[in-house]
A = this chain, B = another copy of it.
Amino acid sequence: MTEVCKIYEEHLDKILKAQEKLPDEETILEISDFFNALGNPTRLKIVFALLEEELCTCDLSNITGLSVSAISHQLRILKDRKIVAYKKDGKNVFYRLDDEHIRQILKIALRHMEE
């Protein structure tokens, strides 16, 4: 950052208070990573598809029309960010949503969109 604007005396309080209340950098990064995971059409489609029932990589490829490889790469991201969990079954790997929060957030996001 180069440019710095003047701090109004009267804004100083707000600024210090806001800075204090801001979550620390690490928390910010965790939460933004979480939203970022949902902030991509392919990954969001995967998550929506998993709302109903668990599906394997191949199913998700067929559902979305994307290559198995592309799906697998995105599944890794969703897995790392604790949005999906998986279970191996023979040659297949079945993915499911990792917890109830995901469903809640999707529901609110849908409601938010309908305005």
**Alpha-carbon distance between A99 and B34 when the two chains are bound, in angstroms:** 21
Size class of the A contact interface (CB-based, 8 Å): 35 or more
Of the candidates A28, A56, A62, the one having the most CB atoms from chain B within 10 angstroms of its own CB is A62
B30 touches A41 (CB 8 A): no
Residues of B within 8 A of A70 (CB): 1
How far apart are A77's CB and chain B's nearest CB, in angstroms? 12
How far apart are A108's CB and chain B's nearest CB, in angstroms? 5
* Residue ranges of A at the interface with B (Cβ–Cβ < 8 Å): 1-8, 11, 14-15, 17-19, 21-23, 25, 27-41, 43-45, 48-49, 51-53, 55-56, 58-59, 61-63, 65-70, 99, 101-102, 104-106, 108-113, 115
